Structure 1
Amino acid sequence: MAMSGGVDSSVSAALLQQQGYNVEAIYMKNWDTRDERGVCPSEEDWKDVQSVCQHLQIPCQQVDFVKDYWHQVFQDTLDTYAAGLTPNPDVLCNQHIKFGSLLNKIPSDSWLATGHYCRTDGEGRLLRGRERNKDQSYYLSTVPHQALQRAIFPLGNITDKQHVKQLASDLGLTKVASKKESYGICFVGQHRKFASFLEQYIDQPCGPAVDLETGRVIGEHRGLFGYTIGQAARIHHGPHKWFVAQKDLTSNTLVCVPGSKHPQLFHRACTATNWTWIHTFRPTKINVMAQVRYRQDPVPALLDVDDHQRHRITFQEPVRAIASGQQVVVWLDDWCLGSGLIDSVTPAY
């Protein structure tokens, strides 16, 4: 059982134990807290894991994946941001670390359980979790079918996150039941802006921020890596609130538009590379439900794969703020078919 010190993985371990599994806990150390530029409460989380395991009377161990994480997730994330794109480190972590390095460390006749809100079926297909607000199949959309066949998701059929917290309380796991839920990347910390963290690793100059409609300079950006399409530009000029429409690396220019609903922030299609089909089902043209962000509602789209294996997703209605580098994930009903990295977008207007 991959345990993080949070309520989801703690309750997952208890549920497996109740179902008669022989459970052993593994805590993954992915970040070196000796790095002054990173902040990660790993020591406190490790203590919580040990406390839960002692309460459940199951063995636990800490495994060091710091080097793996740096080379396979963190460095790739930095390079992608430096190139002006918008990566998703959590997708990379699940693919390369949790269901890569970690899965390879455990015996081949064992299962790997995690606290993700998603499901698999008898054929090893990845399905959405019953708790739609917490469904995390998006983050597992690049995990290969072979790995999913060895995966167990005890919370997949849970329909309410509050039920998980109540289970934790009922089991006597009072500390993790009341523990604040963590969001974002652990080493950045929850009280620090991500752009400020990236500044410590990416050396890019400031540059002009311009109005897309007039070409006039309206302010200055602090480095293009710190912005993504559709977000507030943090530029104070005139009566408008400005939003990022484009990033021009050649001229080091941030291109902005007034208002969060400006037509230039909407796209009707995108193409994707590095595509992963999780299962053997690999259609060339199919109507799907698609997401370009974890918190986006799934929307109807047409996925079309041409003879050169270029994947094009055309949305039934325009989608706001699609950024190159993001993961576009597709489903057939609840079945996650796979995903790819967005490499180009088509404006809606």
Structure 2
Amino acid sequence: MSRSLSEGGADRVAAMQSIFLSDLGYYVYIVTILNSVKYPFKGELFNLGEIKEQNDTLLGRVKRLFLFKKFLKSNKIDVVIDHRVRSKRFSEYIISAFVYPTNVIYMVHSYAIEIYFPPYKWITKRLYKRRNKIVSVTKGIEKLIKKTYNFNNLQSIYNPIDFNYIDSLKNEAIAETSDFIFWYGRIEEKSKNVSLLIDAYAKSKLASKNVKLIVMGNGKDEGLIKIKIEKLNLTEKVRMLPFSVNPFTYIEKSKFTVLSSKYEGFPMSVLESLACGTPVVSVEYKNFEDGVVKNEYNGLMVENHNPDALANALNRFIDDEKLYLSCKGNAKNSVVSFSVENISKQWQTLIDN
């Protein structure tokens, strides 16, 4: 079960999971809350978002819950894997206590764990303490959940990379002919902090050296970022592109990618960048210690919330060719262990047990 199959990293993981579980021989059903399907997937889709668009009243919501429960029962679903955020206490109580079957795996994709559990601890403990599994995408998130709720039904399984899928798309042509660095994701300041990147780029040497910045994605703060770009007189140097299911061709052709987030889980943008052989400049987001960027090995790690520190890192990868080429050479091999073949085996063991 997923919010949708578009844009976000959690959605991307859910879509990828449907493919590798199908390839392993499981019969897969996918339930989406929103009517937005862009990523490739395998299995039978039950799009609750289409029904929601027809009737989103209170009565319509109740009807969708009954339809969902009937769907689970009629298809004899053995295991539910829930990728959604789950912060609404009443609806989550209904779903977990009365709609879901016995076997449920609750995913936690972010270090901001409060969006994956209802706001009151007593409700969270009652709903999740005895359920089958809570799977985090990093050990750091698992430790935080343990510290916060004292659950014992915890496990970590890292996000996978489908190298074959990336390789099939990364060589497509793009219109951009200048050198550029690249950022992509949801444009939401609360978590992704794109304004920090814009400030750092403005302070760096990159614009004067004709290295552009391309920002790809959609989100509620697009307007805010566009205004910031205009105020800093960067409209000729910073290009904004809408979300695309194929960011890989831009990753492949960029000098390097950048992560500016305040917090993350196990960011797909970093995995996918390194899988393309492209190094990453990343700030020290919450939970960065459990990430894959190793300073001066496959990228650069710098202090967060500091545009000067980030600007200096951008400059280093342009000025220090030896360091840059070394990190670029190490990029792909640094994430081979996260191949979909390896990660799918961990999921198979969990589900079968």
TM (norm. structure 1) is 0.29
Structure richer in strand, relative to its length = 1
